[in-house]
Structure 1
Amino acid sequence: MARRGRARRISRPLAAGTGALILVATLTACVTGSPEPRTVTHPDSPAHLAEVTVQRIEYPTSHEAPDPAQNWADLYLPAGEHRDHSVPLAVIIHGGVAQDGQGADSFDSLARALTVRGMAVYNIEYRRLGTGGGWPTTYNDIADALDHVVEVNEKFPAIATDDEVVVGHSTGAQFAAWGGTRHTLNHNEVGAFPAFRPTRIVSIAGTLDSVFSARAGDDRVLNAIGGTPLQVPARYATVDPAQNVDPGTPVVAIHGTADTVVPPENSRRYVEAALKADGKAELTLLEGEDHASIVSVDSPAYPKVVDAIVNASVAELDKVVETVNP
């Protein structure tokens, strides 16, 4: 399938001759709903937040009416003084595609761990199987949530959105990797014409080779895409990371050696495919970690996962994969 080499990045430089910065005055921890944030302008002074703050933001959907109970993202901002475009952004996409799976709330601890390290976090929820999701709704929701980062940046200018990382766990990692290649899609494919393009991806226990996962009987992949590779090959051609490697978007894959839900072979196959396509990818294996423990705060490997995300975010683009196994 022919692909378009089309890239759209967002970056909003400071206006020349102005020192105006924005202080978000109304954020409170664990806010529910989506109140419009009030802002106060303080020329010549940075924004200051006394503590980590969380704002729930409902994002608009482009293909059908949104569900406020599911179409939202929590924005975490770190404490401290922040000038415009000074706080790196991490987007988190959970992998609980089934109704009874893990949701965005289950990654609150990871989001807070990253804010302690000085990052802003945009933690996405979306419609899942059994609650209105499935093909193509779930993919459209994720595309809409990612594209809404542009609007979020307008309201919270301290966030740096010109060089950002998207993190996904399990099927969420497949969504994250797909989000990093949407700029290559044809005009009639789901998720084409992105307003927001990440520059680097971190996959945690990810289904990065969707065809391999489907053939192994992974119901999450089969149900999210809506069929087998033989039944809906065009869908797999659109969203399977192993078939859509972008050489300009490095991917860091992290996997536990004891993962029997999504075996580490999945990440290994993706990295091999990426390298064959002149992409930048690296795999790190965490001994003894399984599908759940790898993102558990109680795991001894958890700090390594947090470090990998932070390091991938701050590294020069051509050095991202070198931060995994230095």
Structure 2
Amino acid sequence: MVQRLKYSYGADPSQWGELFLPDPPAAGQLRGVVVVIHGGYWRSTYGAELGEPLAVDLAEHGMAAWNLEYRRAGNGGGWPATFQDVLAGIDKLAELAGQHSLDLGKVVAVGHSAGGHLAVWAAGRGHLAGPGPGAELADPGGVRLAGVVSQSGVLNLAEAERLNLSNGAAANLLGGSSSEFPRRYRCADPMGALPLDVPVYAVHAEADDDVPLAMSALYVDASGAGGVPAHLVMVPGDHFDLINPKSPAYAVCRELAARLLG
């Protein structure tokens, strides 16, 4: 029986997450948490309902899941609010761990599309320290991700801007072009946080017409220069098969999340 509990991590109506809990094991402690971060090209048209079926499925397979909502472009999000929310939402798990016997040594993220971007970006939060537009996001005491499954993630913002993906979604998120805000783009781009010291599985659907394969392939290629190289995993289906719990594409993502949790 899956238990679901909703918690706020801020005052805004979009600052919340829903925790999906499986029956606890005999030992009492759940084996880590999967943070589910939905996509929608960072726009307020789409919300956490996209991640809910995944969170339910993960809990039904014995994994605690934290389905995270956040402010998006159009409802108070963008730079830096969307990024602040993702980190604050992940950090909320530190407060919930004691209440629900969560193992914070094993927190991984599954992010779809723009959520894949945010998940991989959050895994590189340790690179935010120091002067620059990301300094206000740095928090050395925050909850760290132990790995990421990116589902056709937008992992190269410079290329996303060049291709004008989803009619200027990157500029819509960051408040303008990279020529206007070059440091902002560098801070928000997962490419800028390489090398990472945690594993990333860049899962990409073979028939994806929404996010080009280059978004995953360029990131994986760049990751090979140091740290823990990312892995490109091709799966059958289209963009939305990745978030369909009945599809083979999603089954691969679930298996990879379980592998990251060990």
Whether the aligned pair in 2 keeps the contact of 1:214 and 1:222 (CA below 8 Å) is yes
1:209 alignment counterpart = 156
State how 1:135-214 maps to structure 2 within 5 Å: 135-156=79-100, 158-188=101-131, 189=134, 190-194=136-140, 195-214=142-161
Percent identity of equivalent pairs: 32
Residue in structure 1 matched with residue 233 of structure 2 by the alignment: 284
SS at match of 1:175: helix
- What is the CA distance between 1:104 and its match in structure 2? 1.1
The amino acid that maps onto 1:111 is: A
Distance in 1 (alpha carbons) for counterparts of 2:114 and 2:226: 22
Give the Cα–Cα distance (whole angstroms) in 1 for the partners of residues 15 and 193 of structure 2.
26
Partner of 1:263: 212
2:244 matched residue in structure 1: 296
Q: Which runs of 5+ in 2 are unaligned?
A: none
What is the SS of the residue equivalent to 1:57?
strand
Give the equivalent residue in structure 2 for 1:57. 7
Extract structure 1 runs of 4+ deviating beyond 3 A.
80-86
> 1:58: Cα distance to partner?
0.5
Greater helix share, structure number: 2
Larger radius of gyration: 1
Structure number with the higher strand fraction is 1
Question: Is the contact between residue 112 and residue 152 of structure 2 (CA under 8 Å) also seen in structure 1?
Answer: yes
Query: 2:202 matched to 1:253?
Result: yes
Q: Deviations over 1:255-310 (max 9, x none)?
A: 012112111111000000001234321001113x2222221234332322221221
Does residue 43 of structure 2 align to residue 98 of structure 1?
yes
Q: Mapping of 1:99-138 within 5 angstroms?
A: 99-101=44-46, 103-138=47-82
Q: State the distance in 2 between where 1:84 and 1:300 align.
A: 31
Secondary structure at the counterpart of residue 161 of structure 1: coil
Larger relative contact order (Cα-Cα within 8 Å, sequence gap ≥ 6): 2
Name the TM-score, length of structure 2 as normaliser: 0.91
Q: Partners of 1:247 and 1:127 in 2: how far apart?
A: 26
* Letter of the structure 2 residue corresponding to residue 209 of structure 1: N
The CA distance in 2 between the partners of 1:213 and 1:137, in whole Å, is 20
| More off after superposition, 289-298 vs 204-213 | 289-298
CA distance in 1 between counterparts of 2:163 and 2:24 reads 47
TM-score normalized by structure 1? 0.74
Given candidates 234, 242, 250, the residue that maps to 2:183 is 234
Q: Specify the code of the residue in structure 1 equivalent to 2:85.
A: D
- Aligned mates of 1:217, 1:193 — CA distance in 2: 32
CA contact (8 A) 1:215 1:228 kept: no
Aligned CA distance change for structure 1 residues 107 and 132 (closer, same or farther; 3 Å): same
Counterpart Cα distance in 2 of 1:224 and 1:148: 24
Q: Which moved more, 1:242-251 or 1:202-211?
A: 242-251
| 1:6-45 map, 5 Å | none
> Contact between 2:15 and 2:69, CA under 8 Å: does it hold in 1?
yes
CA distance in 1, matches of 2:246, 2:63: 22
The residue number in structure 2 matching 1:73 is 17
Aligned residue type for 2:69: E
Change (3 A) 1:222 1:290: farther
- Root-mean-square deviation (Å): 1.7
1:163–1:300: structure 2 CA closer, same or farther, 3 Å change rule? closer
Structure 1, gaps ≥5 residues long: 1-50, 61-65, 315-326
